[in-house]
Structure 1
Amino acid sequence: MLKAVEPGFVSDADRLAAQEASRALAKLSGNGGVQVDAQADTGERQTFVLPAAAVRLLTDMMAQLAEGRSVAVMPRHAELTTQQAADLLNVSRPYLVSLLEQDKLPYKKVGTHRRIQLQDLLAYMEARNTVSDNAMDALAAEAQELGMGY
């Protein structure tokens, strides 16, 4: 697991650079890879090709950084602590533990500690978002039927 940038630590200069990089990558990539000619502060140069998947990931990361948002990169098979999972769901750790104890989210125990697979957490988040979206659609439809102007 690699946490690229902590919240609130994106300077204005970095935001601008990220915005320019995101635009450049999006323009160059299309659906393929991008050849990069990089130069370090030491003057060392290197040319390499970023595969299409990496270009899409970097483009998305740069767009998030340009907005001043934090970015985390994790493999899909990562195992998260209850605190990490709670942070991703934007809920308290005790609330997350209650979800685990109600079998709303699968987990395994490692000693006395619970671990949640990232892919299971992402599936839960997707299901939760679908339920929320459906509820909002139903409310909007009801408002239309009642002539509330929404």
Structure 2
Amino acid sequence: MESQGTQRPKLVGPGGETLELPEPVFHLLRQIVTVLAQGDAVTVVPVRKELSSQQAADLLNVSRQYLVRLLDQGAIPYTKTGEHRHIQLNDLLAYKRKRDAQRKAALNELIQMSQDFGGYSECS
């Protein structure tokens, strides 16, 4: 009999069949169930998936034209087949992480500047 410390997470099917899960997969599934329970959608996509420029723009929540400018400026790697641009999901996510970090740093700098200058004065 296994002790509590050595038990492995298992997926149990409707017919009672079980499948042992690696611990990281168990934690991922728990996060997915939590998000779904809150009424949000979850999409699972292979990181090597290629996206169209419209799909990439939608993921970044920007216009397609803005995304194309980012691609042309070299901000995000892409390939081109004829007139169609294809962006690797992992490249897009790397750009998004970098952009989000820059935004957070800029916001923290604004907060610090506001505190340094006494913040906003209250109106009377």
TM bracket (short chain): 0.7 to 0.9
Does the 8 Å CA contact 1:33/1:55 hold for their aligned counterparts? no
Matching residue's letter, 1:34: P
- Describe the superposition over 1:18-54 as per-residue Cα deviations: whole angstroms up to 9, x where unpaired: xxxxxxxxxxxx9x84123221xxxx33111122222
**What's the TM-score, normalizing by structure 2?**
0.82
Number of equivalent positions: 115
| Aligned residue in 1 for 2:16 | 45
1:128 aligned partner: 99
Q: CA deviation at 1:128?
A: 0.4
Q: Following TM superposition, by how much is the alpha carbon of 1:125 offset from its aligned partner in structure 2, in angstroms?
A: 0.4
RMSD: 1.9
3-state SS of 2:99 partner: helix
Distance 1:56 1:88 in 2: 24
Give the % identical residues: 43
User: Counterpart of 1:73 in 2: which secondary structure?
Assistant: coil
Q: Aligned partners of 1:93 and 1:104: how far apart in 2?
A: 14
**Higher normalized strand content (fraction of residues):** 1
Alignment partner of 1:45: what SS? coil
Q: What does residue 76 of structure 2 align with?
A: 105
Which residues of structure 1 form unaligned runs of 5+? 1-29
Q: Which has the larger radius of gyration?
A: 2
Residue 146 of structure 1: aligned partner:
117
Render the CA deviation track for 1:30-84: whole Å, top value 9, x for unaligned: 9x84123221xxxx33111122222122112112212222211111111111111
Runs of 4+ in 1 over 6 A off after TM superposition: none
Gaps of 5+ in 2: none
Following the alignment from structure 2 to structure 1, what is the Cα–Cα distance between the partners of residues 8 and 54?
Answer: 36
| SS of residue paired to 1:115 | strand
